[in-house]
Amino acid sequence: MDSFELTNEGFAVIKGDTHLAVWVKEHKTLAFDTNALPYIMEFIKEGDIVVDAGANIGCYSYAFKDKAKEVICFEPNPDAFDCLKYNLSKFPNVFLMNVALGSRVGYVNVVKQANAGATFVEYEIVEKPKGCIQISTLDRFNLPKVDFIKIDVEGFELALLQGGIKTITRDKPKLYIEINEGTLARCGVTPKNIFEFLDNLGYQYRNIYPNQKMEGEQYDIICW
């Protein structure tokens, strides 16, 4: 437990985290983002296979597990993954992977932030020195079926989509994607690049909040 502490309700949060840990302690629940979550859950059906890319400490998957048949969580940050294991490993329909998802296979450096949710991996593929994390593609996992993918991967959103092109083309899962111009720019990507990718696959999309536009530095979209 060197990397995390427990809240009064028994949820593991990262020690020193300035954002998510504070929220979980204040709201006494792991189900983060209570504003957007009801809209997201409308797009998940009973029995769905859900991929949570950028699972962090398990806040979204904690809600997904009650509706989905299986939830497959990917989280590269070792500290967040320790919390994720503590919070969700007891649920038999949740599967945990300490792996980053992108468009290539190799190893990447994890750059930790005070706000653990903003921790990111550097795009450069490196040899496997101590402390690096494996990066792979969604397609390499050969998942037999995917119905919904939540994507919050701090700039790697397009790379993840590219690395999952076979899976996405085959199943056309619904997608929930964080759009953040700052983190995308770090990877040389713009929101337009993501929209073009979605257009080419025949997706429709909108702001997760039905009455809000897709504009500003950061917003979340739902795609179907």
Query: Domain-by-domain residue ranges, the chain?
Result: 30-223
CA dist., res. 119 & res. 138, Å (int): 20
pLDDT at 97 over 60: yes
pLDDT confidence bin for 94, thresholds 50/70/90: very high
In this prediction, residues 65-73 reach a mean pLDDT of: 98
For residue 117, pLDDT beyond 50: no
Least Cα distance to 142 among 108, 171, 174 occurs for: 171
pLDDT of residue 124: 56
Does the domain formed by 30-223 have CATH 3.40.190.10?
no
| Token representation of residue 162 | 């590219």
Residue 213 has pLDDT above 70, yes or no: yes
**CA-to-CA separations, 8 to 26, 28, 91, 113, in angstroms, rounded:** 10, 8, 20, 24
Cβ proximity of 117 and 94 under 8 Å: no
pLDDT of 69 > 80? The answer is yes
Binning pLDDT at 50, 70 and 90, where does residue 116 land? Answer: very low
Q: What are phi and psi of 161, to 5 degrees?
A: -60, -45
